[in-house]
Amino acid sequence: MIKAVRGTRDLLPPDTALWNYVEGVVRDVFRAYNFQEIRTPIFEETTLFARGVGEETDIVSKEMYTWEDRGRAESDRGQSLTLRPEATAGIVRAYIEHKMGDRGLNKFYCIGPMFRRERPQKGRYRQFYQIDAEVIGPPSSGSESPARDAEILEMLATLLDRLGISDWNLELNSVGCPNDRAAFNEALRKALEPVVEHMCVDCQRRAVTNPLRVLDCKVPADQPIIEKLPRISQFLDEPCRTHFEAVQAILKAVGVEFHINDRLVRGLDYYTRTAFEFTHGALGAQNAILGGGRYDGLSEALGGPAAPGIGFAIGEDRLILSLQEKIPADSVLPRPQAYIAPLGAGMNGEAARLARELRRHDLVIELGDETFRLKKSFEAATRAGAKYILIVGENEVKAGTFALKNLATGEQVSVPRAELISKIRA
C-alpha cells in the first residue's frame, strides 16, 4: 500500500472545516489591519534561502528539500531549486522583482505549505502550513518605525484572542543591528574559546563560522555552557535600545502583555532589532505557535533597495492543535440543511431540479437516488447530518406540495413548493 510520506499528512474532513474556519477569522482580522494577500511560488532558487535565511542556520544547512532540476531546455538544466522552508525570503524577492517599494508601505499576507526535513513529532511536520504576514517598504514609508512592530504584535494578540486562544505568552527581545551583532558575535567567540571543546560538533563549527547560532543548540549537555554566555541585551547600541523601548511603550499603551527574553535570537539570520515568539502551554515540546521579527537588511542582502520590514509566521498546524479541544471540527462543519430523497423510478430528474433551485438560494443540499428505499434515504440523510429530509415522489410533484421532515424532532409538515426555501431556511 502506498502511504503519505513520513512527516506529511492528509487533512481530512471534518478537520478541514476547522482549518477553513481559522483561515476565515485570519482573513477577517488581516483585512481590518489593511493586509493584502500575496502568493509566491512553492519552489525558488536555492540561493534565495541560502542568502536570505543564512547558510549556517539549521533550516538551510540541514532541513531543505533541494534538487538539481533536469528539464529538456538548456536553461532548466542544472539549476538548484528548493521547496520553500519559509515565506519571508520569497516575499521579499517578489517585493524587489516587482519594484513594490514604489507603492510605499506594503502589507502582505500569505497562507500555504512550507517544507523542512525535521524529525517529525506532534506539532512538527515536514510539510506544514504557515500563516505569514509581512510589512515592508522604503524607509520613507515609515517601515522602520516601532509603530509597525507594535501594530503587528497587537494584531497577533487580537487574532489569538478572537480565536479563543487566551493563554498565550509573548516573548520579546531585540537582537540589535549588524553593528551590535558584530560586537556580540565577537564576545561570544571569546567566551566560547575556552569551553567549546566540551560542546557538540555543530557548536564547535558554529563557534567559528557564526557564534550566534550556538544559541540555537538543543543538545542538553551544552545548555549549562550556553547559559553562561554573554547576552545580546548588553550589546544594543543607542538607536536599537530606543527603538525597543518605543515598541514596549506602545504595547503597554494598547494593553498587550509581554515578557522580555534576552535569550531569544530566532533560528533565521535575517533578523534585526525586534524578535518575538508566541508560545502556548498546551502544545508541549513544540510550544512556539508563531515567530517573527524585523529584517531591516534582508532586501539589500538579496540585491534590492533599502526596505526595512517586519513580519511573522504562525504555524497553522500548531494553531489548530491548540484549538481542537476548544472548537470541535463538527461545530464549524456546514451540514446539509436538507436531504432530498427521490422516491420511485424516474424521480431523479425532478429531485435534481428541486436541488438546483434550492442550492441557487444558497441552501446546503444533499441529493439521494431514486433506487434508495425510504428507509435507506433516511439513513443516508441522518449520516449526512441533514436537518430535514424532503421527499420527492410522483404524488408530491403532481400536488406541488412536499413532505418535509425534521430529522431531529421527527416533526413532519406538508409544504407548498413556493414556501420550501423559507421553511428550510427557518
**Per CB under 6 A, which of residues 298..317 are in contact with ligand HAM?**
311-313, 315, 317
The nearest distance, CB 45 to ligand HAM, in angstroms, is 17
| Residue in 57, 130, 274, 299 binding ligand HAM, rule: CB under 6 A | 130
| Residue in 48, 64, 289, 392 binding ligand HAM, rule: CB under 6 A | 289
189 lies in the site for ligand HAM, by CB under 6 A: no
| Residue in 57, 88, 248, 322 binding ligand HAM, rule: CB under 6 A | 88
124 lies in the site for ligand HAM, by CB under 6 A: yes
The nearest distance, CB 382 to ligand HAM, in angstroms, is 37
316, 111 contact by CB (below 8 A): yes
CA dist list (Å): 293 to 133, 181, 193, 310: 11, 15, 30, 5
- Identity (one letter) of the amino acid at 244? F
In the complex, residue closest to ligand HAM by CB:
315
The nearest distance, CB 391 to ligand HAM, in angstroms, is 48
How many residues bind ligand HAM (CB under 6 A)? The answer is: 26
Q: How far apart are CA 408 and CA 216, in angstroms?
A: 56
CA dist list (Å): 124 to 208, 244, 282, 402: 30, 31, 14, 52
90 lies in the site for ligand HAM, by CB under 6 A: no
The nearest distance, CB 129 to ligand HAM, in angstroms, is 8
Return the closest-CA partner of residue 301 out of 265, 273, 272: 272
125 lies in the site for ligand HAM, by CB under 6 A: yes
Q: What is the DSSP letter of 30?
A: H
139 lies in the site for ligand HAM, by CB under 6 A: no
180 lies in the site for ligand HAM, by CB under 6 A: no
Dump the DSSP string for 303-369.
T-----EEEEEEEHHHHHHHHTTTS-HHHHSPPPSEEEEEESTT-HHHHHHHHHHHHHTT--EEE--
293 lies in the site for ligand HAM, by CB under 6 A: yes
Nearer to ligand HAM, 118 or 357 (CB): 118
The nearest distance, CB 66 to ligand HAM, in angstroms, is 16
Return the closest-CA partner of residue 351 out of 319, 392, 382, 399: 392
Sequence-ordered list of residues with C-beta below 8 angstroms from that of 280, at least 6 positions apart, any chain: 165, 167, 168, 169, 287, 289, 318, 322
Residues that bind ligand HAM (CB under 6 A): 86-88, 116, 118, 123-125, 128, 130, 132, 134, 267-268, 288-293, 311-313, 315, 317-318
